[in-house]
Amino acid sequence: MNTVNTGPSIKSYKKLNLWFNFDKSNVLQIYSGKVDIGQHISSTLALICSQITGVNYNQIEIIKLDTDISPDEGITASSLSVAVSGTAIKAASFTLRKEFYNYAINNYNILEDNILFENGVIKDKLSNKSVTYWDFATTNEFKELEISDNLIDSELTEYINKNTQSIEIKTIHDIVTGHYKYVHDMNFPNMLHARIVRPPNYHSKFVKINESFIQILNQNNVKLFIKGSFIALLSIEEFLVVKYLDIIKKQIIWKDVKDLSNENIFISLSNNQKNSLLVKAGGEAHQEKIPNIKDFNDSKTFSLSSEYKKSYLMHAPIGPSAACAFFEENLTVFSHSQALFALKKSLSTYFDIDKDRVTLKHVPGSGCYGHNGADDVAFEAAVLSKEFPKNHILLKWTREDEHCWEPYGSASINKIKGVIDSQGKIIYWSNEAYADTYLSRPSESELFNFISFKFLTNDFAEKKSTPKTSAHMGIHRNLDPLYDFQETRLVKNLVHNLPLRTSALRTLGAFANVTATECFINELASLKNIDPFEIRINHLNDDRAIDVLQMLQSDMNKKTKEIDFHRGIGFARYKNSAAYCAVGVELKINDDLEIKLNNAWITVDAGEIAFEGGIKAQVEGGFIQAASWALYEEVRFDTKEIISKDWDTYKIIGFDNIPDINTNIIDQKGLPYLGVGEAVAGPTGAAISNALHEALGERIKTMPFTKENITKELLN
Three-state SS letters, 419-450: EEECCCCEEEEEEEEEECCCCCCCCCCCHHHC
pLDDT for res 342: 96
**Average pLDDT of the segment spanning 125-147:** 94
- pLDDT tens per residue across span 320-342: 999 999 999 999 999 999 999 99
pLDDT for res 165: 57
Q: Which of 377, 407, 406 is nearest to 394 (CA)?
A: 377
- Assess whether pLDDT exceeds 90 at residue 183: yes
3-class DSSP state of 111: coil
Alpha-carbon gap, residue 6 to 646, rounded angstroms: 45
pLDDT for res 261: 83
Residue pair 61/28 in contact (Cβ under 8 Å)? The answer is yes
**Average pLDDT of the segment spanning 516-523:** 98
Largest interatomic CA distance in the chain:
86
* pLDDT tier, 160 (very low <50, low <70, confident <90, very high otherwise): low
Alpha-carbon gap, residue 489 to 210, rounded angstroms: 59
- Assess whether pLDDT exceeds 70 at residue 159: no
pLDDT for res 3: 81
Burial of 297 (0-12, 13-18, 19+ CB in 10 A): exposed
- Assess whether pLDDT exceeds 70 at residue 161: no
**Average pLDDT of the segment spanning 534-543:** 98
Q: Quote the pTM value.
A: 0.95
* pLDDT tier, 74 (very low <50, low <70, confident <90, very high otherwise): very high
Quick one: what percent of the chain has pLDDT higher than 90?
88
Alpha-carbon gap, residue 506 to 578, rounded angstroms: 14
**Average pLDDT of the segment spanning 487-515:** 97
What are all long-range contacts of 555-560, with beta carbons under 8 Å and residues at least 24 apart? 555/584, 555/601, 555/603, 555/662, 555/664, 556/584, 556/601, 559/599
Average pLDDT, whole number, for the chain? Answer: 95
* pLDDT tier, 71 (very low <50, low <70, confident <90, very high otherwise): very high
Alpha-carbon gap, residue 34 to 339, rounded angstroms: 9
Radius of gyration of the chain (CA): 27
Residue pair 411/474 in contact (Cβ under 8 Å)? The answer is no
> How far is residue 581 from each of residues 577, 578, 628, measured CA to CA in Å?
12, 10, 18
Alpha-carbon gap, residue 104 to 120, rounded angstroms: 12
* pLDDT tier, 168 (very low <50, low <70, confident <90, very high otherwise): confident
- pLDDT tens per residue across span 257-311: 999 987 899 999 999 999 999 999 999 999 999 999 999 988 899 999 999 999 9
pLDDT for res 299: 85
Instruction: Determine the straight-line distance between the first and last CA of the chain, rounded to whole angstroms.
Output: 63
DSSP 627-676: HHHHHT----B-SSSBS--STTTS----GGGPPEEEEEEE--TTSPP---
Strand partners, 600: 585, 661
Handedness of CA 650, 655, 659, 663 (dihedral sign): positive
pLDDT for res 173: 86
State which H helix or E strand residue 601 sits in. Answer: strand 595-605
Handedness of CA 198, 199, 205, 207 (dihedral sign): negative
Alpha-carbon gap, residue 676 to 660, rounded angstroms: 20
Strands 204-209 and 192-196: unpaired
**Average pLDDT of the segment spanning 586-608:** 97
pLDDT for res 1: 61
- Assess whether pLDDT exceeds 70 at residue 164: no
- Assess whether pLDDT exceeds 60 at residue 162: no
Return the axis-axis angle of helices 41-53 and 87-107, rounded to nearest 10°.
30
Q: Which of 362-366, 380-384, 567-571 has the lowest mean pLDDT?
A: 362-366
Going from the N-terminus, what domains does the chain have, and what CATH number goes with each?
Answer: 3-65+73-163+170-174 (3.30.365.10), 184-258+315-405 (3.30.365.10), 264-312+409-442+456-504 (3.30.365), 542-716 (3.30.365.10)
3-class DSSP state of 214: helix
Alpha-carbon gap, residue 199 to 692, rounded angstroms: 41
Scored b (16 or more CB within 10 A) or e, 519-539 reads bbbbbbbeeeebebbebbbbb
Alpha-carbon gap, residue 532 to 519, rounded angstroms: 10
